[in-house]
Amino acid sequence: MDPESLTRIDDNCWKIEPRGRMRVPAMVFADRALLAAMDEKVREQLCNVACLPGIVEAAYAMPDAHWGYGFPIGGVAAFDPEEGGVVSAGGVGFDISCGVRTMLTGLRREDIEPVKDRLADALFATVPAGLGRHGEIRLSDRELEAMLAGGAVWAVARGWGRPEDLERIEEGGRAAGADPEAVSFRARERQRAEMGTLGSGNHYLEVQEVAEIADEETARGYGLLRGEVVVTIHCGSRGLGHQIGTEFLREMVVAASAAGIALPDRELACAPVRSAVGQRYLGAMRAAINCALANRQIIGHLARQVFERFFPGRPLRLLYDVSHNTCKEERHPVGDRRLDLFVHRKGATRALPPGDPALPEALRPFGQPVLIGGSMGTGSWILAGTRPDGPRAFASAIHGAGRALSRHQARKRWRGEEIVARLAREGVLVRSVSMRGVAEEAPDAYKDIDAVVNAAHRAGLARKVARLRPLIVIKG
């Protein structure tokens, strides 16, 4: 994307003025280098989002933005239902509530190194990973219904985890307003045997070392110490979320036409929030959020069991669990008013500021942990919500590095076996069922995570707290 074709607001914020059918501007948070490297398709998709009914303030792109389905990945937009605002399945994404959970071990790297190989094998054997992989959990119809309504609260009640985990999960571990009846038979069947599984693509379980501290006070508040080890899980709602997205996108094409909405792109199929289709989608999407929260809770429990075998009496403690790929009803200031809006975050993470009452008391002074997954083998970050005077982009931040090459391009350039061997030489053990999948997720197929994080930090989207370096990577 040519920086000269945008209006520069500051070194990390750029504006696309409204034109044609755009109802609001489009805004891109990025430094000049990241902006120049963005696909021109990001601009096109962002401008299309700005054409949708009821959008307020602007259509936003995060520093990790890249081309997606309908919305760019790394896209944020909020809609006012009182002004005909819409909900879009493409604005949420197919992997609904894909998110990240980080757990504190209290162990140091030197504790891990003597058992590193065996620990990697045990985690790989315990947490199923890969496309279509099933675990040992198979839910009855009644349990499926309870899981879709209860999320991580349901999982803890069934023995997967501890009650204190729930206060460290967005929404207390359960999205209110879920409607299991809006979830199709096909979507349920795809999920019946996939609870407690990682899936494929960029999903992973990593054992990581806290390699750098950028904010000592916040790191202490989060329980992060340099040289200590954490466990991070990145996954979502698996086949259920994908099926919900696929089905409702088809419905929303019809619903948009019936509502007189002229779509700038068929992939932006949407329905008015107040319509029957819009309400059913929100109910199904919230059920998928609960599915993802339950899934990460179960995987976290499985990881705890593995660590307990190697390090008895050293239980893993949850730092936080945060979702991206959601649409949430939230109250935000817009101009001189506070409005109830439906905020779409596709490949973006909520980043609540210090003092926000939605945060658990222990985290409230520091702001919400914003967990940023890096590319395999390079590193990840923990950021914190910021700007209590008025967060930017509806209190949203980046979610990862963002792809620089497509999966097809990555497969043509690298072999999985070569990536595994290279990372082993660097002290990173990879366990995966698919060398093709490893090639697709090669570290160099993604943007520089440090550059993306620095841009988000300078833009005031979130502030840097700690950098994590991988030691063990479990992938599908």
The whole-angstrom separation of Cα 49 and Cα 265 is: 9
Listed residue (469, 307, 304, 272) closest to 382, CA to CA: 469
SS3 212: strand
- Per-domain residue ranges for the chain? 3-404+446-475
pLDDT in tens, 297-333: 999 999 999 999 999 999 999 999 999 999 999 999 9
CA distance 348 to 327: 11
Task: For 260-278, write each residue's pLDDT tens digit.
Answer: 999 999 999 999 999 999 9
Tell me whether residue 324 is one of the annotated catalytic residues.
no
Residue-wise pLDDT tens digits, 109-134: 999 999 999 999 999 999 987 565 66
**Residue of 203, 242, 399, 457 with catalytic role:** 399
Separation between Cα atoms, residue 18 and residue 8, nearest integer Å: 15
* C-alpha Rg value of the chain to the nearest Å: 21
Nearest Cα to Cα of residue 106 among 311, 296, 302:
311
Using alpha carbons, select from 403, 475, 408 the residue that is nearest to residue 443: 403
The domain 3-404+446-475 belongs to what CATH superfamily?
tRNA-splicing ligase RtcB (3.90.1860.10)
Strand partners, 406: none
The pLDDT mean for the chain works out to 94
- State how far the alpha carbon of 449 is from the alpha carbons of 309, 380, 453, in Å: 33, 7, 6
Instruction: Locate 458 and state its tokens.
Output: 């300078």
Which helix (H) or strand (E) segment is 108 a member of? strand 99-108
Token pair for 462: 């979130």
- Tens digits of residue pLDDT in 174-231: 999 999 999 999 999 999 999 999 887 788 999 999 999 999 999 999 999 999 999 9
Tokens of 108: 């140091």
